[in-house]
């Protein structure tokens, strides 16, 4: 890893661009506010680097040896994302505030990383581009640290944006429209993974 700037730019671009994590944290910011969504953000910040380390340190070998593992993870992940999109699509403000609905917990956000198709793309791209057989463990740890650092400002900006949208989105109808748009964007963000199965 001779070029740390390239690694950091890669991690920033991967974490700031739209994908399931950013769509979910944006919706959480709007529906629950920043304070209640912090465990969700921390789950992304801890869960994704942990997943990257697991893959970089050997899971990638198991997946390459047994492609059915990856197919199973992908199908299970897509199923979970479809469930989340459905829940988001059918949720309105009144239902959120009145039903005891909660944002994703820390553990749910950690586990969500394994269901997130963009996370897999980010990991395989990062490990494939920025590691060699001679430095895979060291480079994987550096990638994980870089993602950990980038997630707070990048995913955090989506959380902040969602919380600020409360000023514009005030009626149940507006919440319903917003949540439906987020659900559709979530589905669009995973569509490339669906056609690969």
**Every domain of the chain and the residues it spans:** 4-9+19-196
DSSP letter (8 states) at residue 17: S
CA angle 148, 150, 132 (to 5 degrees): 70
Which pLDDT value is given to residue 98?
47
DSSP letter (8 states) at residue 21: H
- Please report the DSSP string for 98-149 in residue order: HTT--PPPHHHHHHHHHH-HHHHHHHHHHHHHH--TTTHHHHHHHHHHHHHH
Q: Is 3 helix (H, G, I), strand (E, B) or coil?
A: coil
Q: Which pLDDT tens digit goes with each residue over 57-114?
A: 886 677 667 777 767 766 776 777 677 778 778 876 544 444 567 899 999 999 999 9
Low-confidence ranges of the chain (pLDDT < 70): 1-2, 59-60, 63-64, 70, 73-74, 77, 81, 92-100, 133, 189-197
The predicted model scores a pTM of 0.77
List, in sequence order, the alpha helices (H) in the chain: 4-16, 20-54, 60-65, 67-89, 93-98, 106-115, 117-130, 136-164, 172-196
Q: Rg (Cα) of the chain, in Å, rounded? A: 17
């Amino acid at each position: 890893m001779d070029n740390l700037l390239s690694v950091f730019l890669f991690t920033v671009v991967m974490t700031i661009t739209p994908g399931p994590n950013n769509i979910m944290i944006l919706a959480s910011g709007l529906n629950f506010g920043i304070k209640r969504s912090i465990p969700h953000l921390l789950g992304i910040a801890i869960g994704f680097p942990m997943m990257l380390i697991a893959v970089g340190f050997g899971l990638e070998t198991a997946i390459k040896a047994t492609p059915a593992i990856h197919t199973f993870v992908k199908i299970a992940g897509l199923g979970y994302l479809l469930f989340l999109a459905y829940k988001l699509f059918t949720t309105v403000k009144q239902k959120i505030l009145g039903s005891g609905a909660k944002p994703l917990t820390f553990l749910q956000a950690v586990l969500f990383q394994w269901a997130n198709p963009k996370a897999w793309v980010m990991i395989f791209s990062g490990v494939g581009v920025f590691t060699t057989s001679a430095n895979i463990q060291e480079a994987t740890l550096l990638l994980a640290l870089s993602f950990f650092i980038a997630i707070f400002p990048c995913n955090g900006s989506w959380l902040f944006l969602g919380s600020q949208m409360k000023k514009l989105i005030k009626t149940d109808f507006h919440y319903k429209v917003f949540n439906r748009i987020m659900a559709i964007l979530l589905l669009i963000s995973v569509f490339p993974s669906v056609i690969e199965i």
